[in-house]
Amino acid sequence: MAGSRGGRINMSLRHVALLGAVMLFLLLGHITIVQAFGSHALNADHRNERPLLARFGHPRGDILTYDGTAIATSRPAGGGPYLYQRVYRHGELYAAVTGHLSLYRSTGIEQAQDAVLSGDDAKVKVRSLVRDGAIEGADVRLTISDRAQWAAYQSLKATGVPGAAVAINPATGAILALASYPSYDPNAFTTFDRARLAETVRRLRHEPGQPLLNRALHRAYPPGSTFKLVTTAAALGSGEYNPASLVNAPARLPLPGTSAFVRNDPGCRDPRPTLMYAFQVSCDTAFATIGLQLGQDILRDQAEAFGFNAESLAIPVTATPSRFPTAMNRAQTALAAIGHHDDRATPLMIAMLSAAVANDGVLMRPYLVEEVRLPDGSVINRAGPTPYRTAVPATLAKHLAAMMTTVTHAGGTGTGAAIPGVEVAAKTAMSRAVPGAEDNALVTAFAPADKPEVAVGVVLEHPGARAADAAPIARALIEAALA
């Protein structure tokens, strides 16, 4: 009987041991799952204070312009659990570049370069530990020019019209200016008062001007006549056209299979102009006819050579892709050839069109970060300009450049971008997203035409009576960059 009772006890102990082992296994498995798959969510949870205390517990690296102006820096918070607070100098002016860092999220360069700015990057962390053991972020020096950025933003602001402006060094791809209007003050997001922060987010998200939208990178517009650069490049590349070729430019062109027409502006009076003259005065029917003759595949190949339909262009802030449509009928192909139908381009892409032509047909990869520098002054990362696309052969780029210079001469559509003593190459446009909507005003340009130093893209949204201001914005930006 005693043996039977002992056997039952042993069996019970085995059951308890087995149950304990299963529970321990489940606990270890749960911990493993949380650490492997749930740590990111836990760290991102706004109720978790530990990541916030770490983020704001040491100085973050500065963001500087190319000229050395600190436009984002850290200062002691002056009390509370968080030791350092972000400060933005000339916040509205540079917001499209810096973005902001708040308790819950980051945008712009603050997000794209977070690892080096915060000190979490492996190279930054190792050097900090070797130096003095204190965690400290690295400084990020941008390609942005103080003078060019000021000209871009203030010129946009003076119009009172939503829009964007971008300037690029065509030889390197360095972005000299990147401005979006309306803008916002990133300092409004640096508060540690959660209720105040929530109110700031709510207010800015509901403002009709959409100040939080970075129009330069994240809104794509119908490119209108600026796309005629692409259509002209395709025509020249086909071997069937040269700048002196005569083209058909009737006052109105029936769109195949529809009852609709493409019409020319009054400035295009010659029904049989040269390709160069049609480009200068922007004859829609001429380029729609060329689009029909070339076909959508040739147009698409040329558009993609300029960077349309490319995914994930990071500068390092990721830009919205610019699009050239697929599977079009002939009427849609004619419209796409003049920058309508479903063509879409960001202001960055509008600047890239001119940058490619200016650099003998080679489009350099656009970039915003010139170098990353540790607090002791040592550089751990420096930009290396790299080709991004070969848009056209050098000989065709010369033809396109010569045609673009006629646009800023008397009789051209872009005389507002002309600069005394400097030959400016340009293409202007009025475009609309849908029939009946208000037009947008666009300019792509570069200068000096014979030795390019800057390429620009400007977009004004629904400017109405201020449409003519787009070309002077391009001129002011070019003048600032050349100065």
| Residues catalogued as catalytic | 225
Distance CA(116)–CA(222), nearest Å, equals 37
CA-based nearest residue to 186, from 51, 315, 116, 90: 90
For the beta carbon of residue 472, count every other beta carbon within 10 angstroms. 16
Distance CA(299)–CA(293), nearest Å, equals 10
Q: String of b and e for 140-157 (b: at least 16 CB within 10 Å)?
A: bbbbbbbbbbbbbbebbb
**Helix H or strand E encompassing 154:** helix 146-159
The CA-CA-CA angle for residues 275, 276, 277, to 5°, reads 95
Q: Which residue has the tokens 């002691």?
A: 76
Q: Quick one: tokens of 120? A: 């979490």
CA-based nearest residue to 281, from 322, 225, 334, 328: 225
Say which residues have a Cβ less than 8 Å from residue 436's Cβ, sequence separation at least 6. none
Q: DSSP letters of 371-390?
A: EEE-TTS-EEEE----EEEE
Q: Report CA-CA distances (Å) from 119 to 43, 140, 187, 317.
A: 17, 12, 22, 19
Distance CA(345)–CA(454), nearest Å, equals 19
For the beta carbon of residue 412, count every other beta carbon within 10 angstroms. 23
Q: Which residue has the tokens 């430019």?
A: 249
